[in-house]
């Protein structure tokens, strides 16, 4: 698996009411020391940034576990984005 970096192009699924509508492509940027993307120029003007960490979800067979002094977490994660080109 390639490590994402600023300048890479990623493909992200877009869902509406739980149904896949389209696959969108975005260029990764670093914003406030976080890697992610702006969905449009309007989002960029508003500062509405989507970090890659929001695109990592629990897998269907993930188990809910507990760490003392931390709380609940899931053990297996999957990324919902795909790196399609890198610099």
Whether the per-residue pLDDT at 2 is higher than 80: the answer is no
Q: What percent of the chain has pLDDT over 90?
A: 67
In whole angstroms, give the CA distance from residue 2 to residue 23: 20
What pLDDT is stored for residue 1 in this prediction?
Answer: 61
What pLDDT is stored for residue 3 in this prediction?
Answer: 83
CA distances (Å), origin 67, targets 58, 64, 71, 72: 17, 10, 5, 6
The per-residue pLDDT for range 22-49, each reduced to its tens digit, is: 999 999 999 999 999 999 999 999 989 9
Q: Which of 67, 84, 86, 65 is nearest to 75 (CA)?
A: 65
Higher pLDDT pick, 51 / 85: 51
Which residues make beta-bridge pairs with 27?
A: 9
Mean pLDDT for the stretch of residues 3-24:
92
One DSSP character per residue, 20-61 reads EEEEEEEE-EEETTEEEEESSHHHHHHT-EEEGGGGEEE-TT
C-alpha triplet 6, 53, 86: angle, nearest 5°: 30
What pLDDT is stored for residue 70 in this prediction?
Answer: 87
């Amino acid at each position: 698996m390639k490590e994402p970096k600023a300048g890479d192009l990623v493909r992200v699924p877009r869902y509406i009411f739980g149904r896949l509508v389209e696959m969108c492509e975005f260029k990764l940027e670093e914003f406030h020391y976080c890697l992610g993307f702006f969905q449009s120029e309007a989002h960029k003007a508003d500062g509405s940034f989507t970090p890659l960490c929001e695109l990592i979800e629990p897998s269907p067979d993930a188990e809910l576990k507990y760490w003392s002094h931390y709380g609940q977490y899931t053990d297996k994660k999957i990324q919902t984005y795909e790196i399609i080109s890198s610099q």
